[in-house]
Amino acid sequence: MKIYFVQWLVCGATLMFQLAGYAGTNNPAGAPAAAEGSKTDMTIKEHCSGAWTPGLSADEKAVLFAIVEDTLLWGVKGGGRGDFDFEKYKLTEKLRQPMATFVTLKEKGMLRGCIGSLAPVAPLYQSVHDNAISAALQDSRFHPVASHELPLLEVHVSVLSPIREIKTLDEFKLGENGIILEKGGSRAVYLPEVAIEQKWTKDETLDSLSEKAGLSPGAWRSGARFKVFSSVVLSR
């Protein structure tokens, strides 16, 4: 079994897909038989913040969501006992490619956990598994998700494009780009949808990002480096 070492990052995005409506076995080709807690509606929506897309098929998206759902059940309800079994999933070449992802959990519209990585150090299928269990149990801002919360959870899976450094903030397109701020030893990131959901201007986004990095609100105005990326958010 391969072990991937990932630097996890927390985010503040508001993302959604429900784990309610447990039961059913009507899975698309390539997805595993539904475990307890899986949803019967396997329609997956895709929202692209920009022109970039990972090019996943409908079946590949369904497999990713099956992995996320089963991971949450395995980790939260099952206590994460034993190795997670990937053998039952149809893991295509695309799902085996290294990609950076975030998994966000919400409950009743409130953030419940969000963990991800900016570097594509693990295969896509492994990345969503790792980040799902980390968002549920290892986000230090929250208590671990309990079994009784599973039917209430909403989830989005964000797949990130390659990251590029920008020379000026004119290259940062609000709503299209996620933004990474680096200054000294501080760093913080927002996914593309955060500014739009919060109805922030570019300056307000950067002020908040600075505070998230532990800096003063206007610290981004001098001596900071910025990187941007696009994302594709998968949801039901």
pLDDT digits (tens, 9 = 90+) for 9-32: 555 433 333 343 333 333 443 444
pLDDT at 70 over 50: yes
Whether residue 2 is contained in a domain is answered as: no
Q: Do residue 65 and residue 89 come from a single domain?
A: yes
Amino acid 123: pLDDT: 98
Residues 122 and 221 in one domain: no
Residue 82: is its pLDDT beyond 50? yes
35 in Cβ contact with 225 (< 8 Å)? no
194 contacts: CB under 8 Å, gap ≥ 6: 11, 12, 13, 14, 200, 205
pLDDT for position 163: 96
Cα Rg of the chain, angstroms: 18
Is there a single domain that holds both residue 224 and residue 136?
Answer: no
Please identify, among 133, 160, 187, the residue that sits at the C-terminal boundary of a domain: 160
**Is 0.85 surpassed by the pTM of this model?**
no
Residues 126 and 199 in one domain: no
Residue 1 domain flag: no
Q: Are residues 152 and 168 in the same domain?
A: no
Give 193's contacts (C-beta < 8 A, 6+ positions apart). 13, 14, 15, 47, 49, 175, 231, 233
Q: Are residues 54 and 170 in the same domain?
A: no
Domain count, the chain: 2
Tokens 């022109």 -> residue: 51
207 & 134 share domain: no
Instruction: State which of 160, 176, 192 marks the end of a domain.
Output: 160
Of 122, 140, 160, the residue that ends a domain is 160
CATH of the domain at 124: 3.30.700.20
- Report the pLDDT value the prediction gives residue 14, as an integer from 0 to 100: 32
172: domain range?
Answer: 164-230
Residue 204 located in a structural domain: yes
Residue scoring higher pLDDT (224 or 155): 224
Please say if the pLDDT value at position 161 is more than 50. yes
